[in-house]
Amino acid sequence: MLSRTADHLFWMARYMERAENTARMLDVNYQTSLLPQSADAAEQGWKGLLSISELTGDFAKRYGAVTPRSVMEYMVSDPNNGSSIRSCLMAARENARAVRGTLTTEVWETQNQTWLEFQRMVSDGAFLRDPGAAFEWVKFRSHLSRGVTVGTMLQDEAFHFLRIGSFLERADNTARLLDVKFHAVQTEFFGRPDGLDMGMPGAASQSQGDEPGDGRDVEYDFYHWSAILRSVSAFEVYRKVYRNVIRPEKVAELLILRPDMPRSLAACIQEVLSNLTMVANGQSSETLRRAGRLRADLQYGRIDEILSTGLHAYLTQFLERVGTIGVGISRDFLVPVEA
């Protein structure tokens, strides 16, 4: 396969996955903002959303103060924000158009219709009238795109590059979400961002027999962890797997180490590795080795070991390793990326 074709397929899938991830985070933040909370807590939630995508500085230069409406506009329809839903869907469509002959008719029509319908929804003000329904639509279109790809495309190199792009992007997003959200709880309760102290209210302190925090802390704790789980469609999965109250160490275990959780780091890297193996060439051995090493670390890792060394440090290192794998994939298969 031509490297340019592989590049378009890889980035088409990444941008579609990124649009869905952005919609998920915005939806959870919007739903959480409807709950009783202080103005400062609400503002911190929107700031955290910008932090996940490393857009805090760009937003501050262009919009100034953080408000729900300004963040929604910036993350949904701002054409100058490369990570907005608009920019991602447009980029996904343009990459699909460039390799139209490689895709099935159903895959192309899904991408094209998604972009056209999104433009209509923005012009009609659908995202302002009912943000929750609009975000559900974005998620549905992403699910449809993946389903049509799996259901209609020959499982050749083109298919594998689409899957690599999807799951590499998903791994990156899940790690960023965990890092920022756990950081927010640590700062909220203890005023310090380093690591994760499992003695926070509702966490390991209760399992050790300590008294739980006050009613406000317990309530905040529940809604916060629930929001994290719902943002990756894992709330019902958590209940099924653990059958217990929501505890932060279990949330971390589910979203990092569980290979049967579709959006966990372990599941994403397993998919990246298996599809990367199918397209391996003579110069990709180092990239394949790095992906295999990361998969092994997740496969045999233990959550108590991760938390004892600091969740923030672990996730920062994970993001660096995923970035290195991404650079390796670009070098080995795709159009070279300029420094």
Chain-centroid distance, C-alpha 154: 27
Give the CA distances from residue 201 to residues 40, 45, 56, 188, 252, in Å, rounded to whole numbers and listed in that order. 20, 19, 29, 11, 16
Q: Is residue 196 over pLDDT 50?
A: no
Predicted confidence at residue 39, as pLDDT, reads 75
Tell me the C-alpha distance between 105 and 86, whole Å: 23
Confidence of residue 202 (pLDDT cuts 50, 70, 90): very low
Q: Which of 29, 23, 44, 14 is nearest to 172 (CA)?
A: 14
Q: Which of 170, 176, 178, 177 is nearest to 146 (CA)?
A: 170
Token output for 40:
């400062």
At position 150, the amino acid (one-letter code) is V
Tell me the C-alpha distance between 18 and 52, whole Å: 12
C-alpha triplet 235, 239, 245: angle, nearest 5°: 100
Confidence of residue 336 (pLDDT cuts 50, 70, 90): low
Token output for 222:
């529940």
Burial of 283 (0-12, 13-18, 19+ CB in 10 A): exposed
Confidence of residue 338 (pLDDT cuts 50, 70, 90): low
Q: What is the pLDDT of residues 279-306, one digit of tens each?
A: 999 899 999 999 999 999 999 999 999 9
C-alpha triplet 117, 122, 125: angle, nearest 5°: 125
Q: Is residue 272 over pLDDT 70?
A: yes
Where on the phi/psi map is residue 310: left (φ > 0), alpha (ψ -120 to 50), or beta? left
pTM for this prediction: 0.87
Per the model's pLDDT, the better-predicted residue between 217 and 292 turns out to be 292
Q: What is the pLDDT of residues 140-187, one digit of tens each?
A: 999 999 999 999 999 999 999 999 999 999 999 999 988 887 776 655
Q: Which residue has the tokens 């920022």?
A: 180
Tell me the C-alpha distance between 103 and 162, whole Å: 11
Tell me the C-alpha distance between 329 and 276, whole Å: 9
Least confident range from 1-15, 158-172, 223-237, 316-330: namely 223-237
C-alpha triplet 285, 275, 154: angle, nearest 5°: 130
Q: What is the pLDDT of residues 68-90, one digit of tens each?
A: 889 999 999 999 999 999 999 99
- Coil, helix or strand for 26? helix
CA torsion angle 305 268 331 290 (round to 10): 30
Least confident range from 110-114, 151-155, 190-194, 274-278: namely 190-194
Confidence of residue 223 (pLDDT cuts 50, 70, 90): confident
Predicted confidence at residue 152, as pLDDT, reads 97
Tell me the C-alpha distance between 147 and 162, whole Å: 12
Q: Which residue has the tokens 């933040």?
A: 29
Q: Is residue 268 over pLDDT 80?
A: yes
Tell me the C-alpha distance between 191 and 67, whole Å: 23
Q: What is the pLDDT of residues 33-64, one digit of tens each?
A: 777 677 777 777 788 888 888 888 999 998 88
Q: Is the dihedral of CA 237, 162, 19, 255 positive or negative?
A: positive
Tell me the C-alpha distance between 190 and 113, whole Å: 47
In percent, the amount of the chain with pLDDT more than 90 equals 62
Predicted confidence at residue 128, as pLDDT, reads 85
Q: Which of the 8 DSSP states describes residue 155?
A: S
Confidence of residue 1 (pLDDT cuts 50, 70, 90): low
Compute the half-sphere exposure of residue 159: CA atoms within 13 Å on the CB side of its CA: 13
Tell me the C-alpha distance between 163 and 269, whole Å: 11
Q: Is residue 210 over pLDDT 60?
A: no
